[in-house]
Amino acid sequence: MKRARIRAGIKSGTAARHADISPGTLTKYEKAENPWPVPIVYVLSEFYGLSQEDRDKLVDLARQKELGWWHRHRDIPEWFESYVGLESEAHTVLNYEDGTIPGLLQTADYARAVLSADVDADSDEQIEAHVTVRLQRQKRLTEDSPLQFNAVVNESALYRTVGGAKIMREQLSILLERAELPNVDLRVLPFESGAHPASEGSFVLMQFPDLLADVSFGDVVLVEYRAGALYLEKDPDIDLFSRIFQQIQGQALNPEESVKRIQRVRSERYEG
């Protein structure tokens, strides 16, 4: 809906007034923080000049969507609710992780150890809520129409002992299992690859299916920082991070060699 509005050249405030809702409410709909009410979709689809066919597609989609499962977990921050909503709609996710295992590939114990290490760590109850959400997100990798997940992991994440040797051994074993999925492309960026363009840190690039004729649903980049996250949607930013991911994927070991590297680290560092 946001892309349809932008394509029509309509400002968010104008659209909100037309639908008789507040600009903040429209923003929550467009960021996938709240589900779209069918009447609002109907009114705005016509206002944006969409064809009857495209309008009906969006109305049907709104009818199918219930309140996102992640909204039941009130302990997760609002910025992360937005991310989970976007991730649930994406067909492909490109993820570079610099110091930890990607969230979509983490075990519960590993995730719990990562969350507990924060200088402002949440309560045990809040941490468990985060872990539950993380495991729920992973179901997209094995559902009938699975998410295509392309991940590049810095080799340092394999060596950083998070939670102890037993937890790491289990975590690397899960990595090896997930690497066998046809929709998962997992690569290790080895130490010997030297300097690389993602040295400033981790990021996620989400790609979405185009549901409407002549309306391109653009990619979104997530860059986390200490107090939240940045969502980048402008073409220059998307192009930059796409090129960065392409380059580090090229510098990384191929999937087969990556599996061998993970097996080697597990054997040499966490077994025995």
- Please report whether residue 241 resides in a domain: yes
pLDDT over 60 (residue 59): yes
Domain-embedded: residue 152: yes
Last residue of a domain, one of 67, 90, 118: 67
Is residue 134 domain-shared with residue 249, that is, in the same domain?
A: yes
Residue 70 contacts residue 76 (beta carbons within 8 Å): yes
> Are residues 169 and 232 part of one domain?
yes
pLDDT in tens, 34-44: 777 777 887 88
Q: Does 147 share its domain with 54?
A: no
Same domain, 151 and 252: yes
- Please name the helix (run of DSSP H) or strand (run of DSSP E) that holds residue 269, with its range, or none: helix 255-270
Share of the chain above pLDDT 90, in %: 53
- What average pLDDT does range 123-128 have in this prediction? 87
Rounded mean pLDDT, 106-126:
89
Please report, for the domain that includes residue 144, its CATH number: 3.30.870
Question: Count of H helices and E strands in the chain?
Answer: 12, 6
54 CB contacts (<8 Å, ≥6 apart)? Answer: 4, 45, 211, 212, 213, 215
User: What is the rounded CA–CA span in Å between residue 108 and residue 132?
Assistant: 8
Residue type at 201 in one-letter notation: G
- For tokens 């990556």, the residue is 258
Parallel/antiparallel/unpaired status of strands 228-232 and 220-225: antiparallel
| Residues 90/147, Cβ–Cβ less than 8 Å | yes
b/e code 82-108 from CB counts within 10 Å (16+ = b): bbbbbbbbbeebbbbbbebbbbbbbbe
Lowest mean pLDDT among 34-38, 40-44, 121-125, 138-142: 34-38
Predicted pLDDT at 269:
96
Confidence of residue 233 (pLDDT cuts 50, 70, 90): confident
**Res 211: pLDDT:** 60
Tokens of 130: 């985060």
Counting residues of the chain whose pLDDT is more than 70, the rounded percentage is 90
- Confidence band for 151, pLDDT divided at 50, 70 and 90: very high
What residues make up the domain containing 89?
Answer: 78-270
Q: What is the pLDDT of residue 138?
A: 96
pLDDT in the model for residue 38? 75
Q: Residue 73: inside a domain, yes or no? A: no
At residue 79, the pLDDT reads 62
Question: For residue 120, what pLDDT is reported?
Answer: 76
Query: Which pLDDT score, from 0 to 100, does residue 238 have?
Result: 94
Residue 122 has pLDDT above 80, yes or no: no
Say whether pLDDT at 90 is over 70: yes
pLDDT at 214 over 90: no
Structural domain tally of the chain? 2
Question: Does 54 share its domain with 158?
Answer: no
Q: How confident is the model at residue 55 (pLDDT cuts 50, 70, 90)?
A: confident
